[in-house]
Structure 1
Amino acid sequence: MEALNNPLFGLTISFLAYEIGKYLFKKTNFPLFNPLLVGAALVIGFLYYFSIPLEYYSKGGDIIEFFLIPGTVLLAVPLYKQLNLLKKYYVAILVGGLVGSLTTITSTIILSKLLGLDKILLVSFIPKSITTPIGIEVSKSLGGIPPITIFSIVLTGICGNIFAVGICKMFKVRHPVAKGVAIGISSHAGGTTKAMEMGEVEGAMSALSIVIAGVITLILSAIIKNFIGLI
């Protein structure tokens, strides 16, 4: 039990699970074997099967969470390399970010109402398309449940990573800036990793869109907060 109480326990099983996910994905190239999805499933299954309390895992898992913010900041590097494109398309990027954020929030509210979800679950899902550190704060400000928000953010990122390429092809989105903005706005860092595989421009625009989506959602959440009683 002493070994489980060590932060290295959570770190070790997280890295091992992720590496197994990477290996499976490389061997099969099957979208559902996304390393994040496989890793999360393995960690959950391991903790459940051996009846290990979440508190033991969190000692190491929280360390990984701590590095989410500086990890997100590093996405500014490819953006810096594409400053000329940012200056050229800044109007389209900002408008795309605003429309995308509004669409995400509106669709979440409509679907939650159609499915009859409780209000507390509804507001927990609203920040699902923005990066985790900002999403947690938005969830708290709206009276949501942060762990559910984190789950929805991770799931959204995984879906973006898996389906981004197919959806761009389906809707014939060919411009690299448009691809990057669409992926970053809808699926934050999880989708951005796929955007970076698609190309440097796509990755840079997706990284920028994470910031835009976060800022816009923060602003909109302040407005939504005043109308929560009507939702």
Structure 2
Amino acid sequence: MTELSLQLSKTQSHLLGTPALAILLTLIAYFVAVAIFRKLRQPVWCPPVLLAGLLLAAALSLCSISYPQYQAGAAWLTFLLAPATVALGVPLHQQIHHIRALWKPILVTVPLAATMAVIYALGIAWALGASGEVLASLAPKSVTAPIAIGINQQIGGSVSLMMGGLLVTGVVASLFVDWLVSWLGISDDRLIGLTLGINGHAIGTVRAFEISAQAGAFSSLGMGLTGIFTALVLPFALALLDIL
């Protein structure tokens, strides 16, 4: 038994030196999460990405794999987030005529919504006595991961805390947008999609595509514009105000 444990330990150490184990664990966690999500009849409050994250965390704990070890192996997955985000330009192109018709409301809404998302996150965290690192980690919580990581590096936050904030924000935003849409009787997919993209980034965009292609396109637009605006303004604003 001891010899078997030693052999397994050596195998795990070897695999940790390559991306193989991190990739395998990530894929298994995601596909199992999708199966559970479908079994639960696709609840908005429990998307596959949340389930996959919980399953992956449990697997890393059981295998005694630290987050830095996993992160090193899964680095290429993080790299692929950027081209995946760029690929959302395809549905945007398909809906360009609808976007042109609403460019003025969009131009007004996105900067205001992105600014408010940062203000209330920093305000609540500051009122609860959060440190500068926590504030920096939560500031880009409404921005899609590839852009948020870049912002986080500029303002000095924690990547792991920031990713947790992104996950919670996406899930809660999708849940509340669904609830508000039902409560207010809103049926315009363009408005629903834009709201999901601005507030729920990638997770909200996944939810928007479940509604319709039009909602998904407008969610992609909201997510992209929010990320660009926040990336350009947030580091400069925080430095100017000397908040962190």
Does structure 2 retain, via aligned residues, the 8 Å contact 1:96–1:181?
no
Runs of 5+ unmatched residues, structure 2: 1-11
User: Map of 1:76-95 to 2, 5 A cutoff?
Assistant: 76-95=89-108
In the alignment, residue 55 of structure 2 is paired with which amino acid? L
1:202 is aligned to: 215
3-state secondary structure, aligned to 1:3 = helix
- Give 1:110's match in structure 2, choosing from 115, 119, 123: 123
Partner AA of 2:21 in structure 1: F
Could you tell me which of 10, 35, 39 is aligned with 1:23? 35
Deviation at 1:132, TM superposition (A): 1.1
**Structure 1: unaligned runs, 5 residues or longer:** none
Q: 2:145–2:166: 8 Å Cα contact kept in structure 1?
A: yes
Aligned equivalent of 2:8: none
Q: Which runs of 4+ in 1 moved over 4 A?
A: none
Letter in 2 for 1:41: L
SS for the counterpart of 1:66 is: helix
Which residue identity is paired with 1:21?
A
| TM-score (normalizing by structure 1) | 0.92
C-alpha deviation, 1:162, in angstroms: 4.3
Structure 2 CA distance for aligned equivalents of residues 72 and 184 of structure 1 = 12
Deviation at 1:147, TM superposition (A): 2.5
Q: Superposition RMSD on alpha carbons, in Å? A: 1.8
State the match for 1:189 in structure 2. 202
Could you say which residue in structure 2 is the equivalent of 1:46?
59
Looking at structure 1, the residues matched to 44 and 208 of structure 2 have their Cα atoms a distance apart, in angstroms, of 15
Percent same amino acid at aligned positions?
Answer: 25
Q: Does 1:211 align with 2:231?
A: no
Q: Is contact 1:100–1:182 with CA below 8 Å preserved after alignment?
A: no
2:68 & 2:133 partners in 1: Cα distance? 24
Asked which structure has the greater CA Rg, the reply is: 2
In the comparison of the two structures, how many residue pairs are matched?
230
Distance 2:122 2:18 in 1: 41
Distance 1:13 1:131 in 2: 23
After TM superposition, the score normalised by the length of structure 2 is 0.87
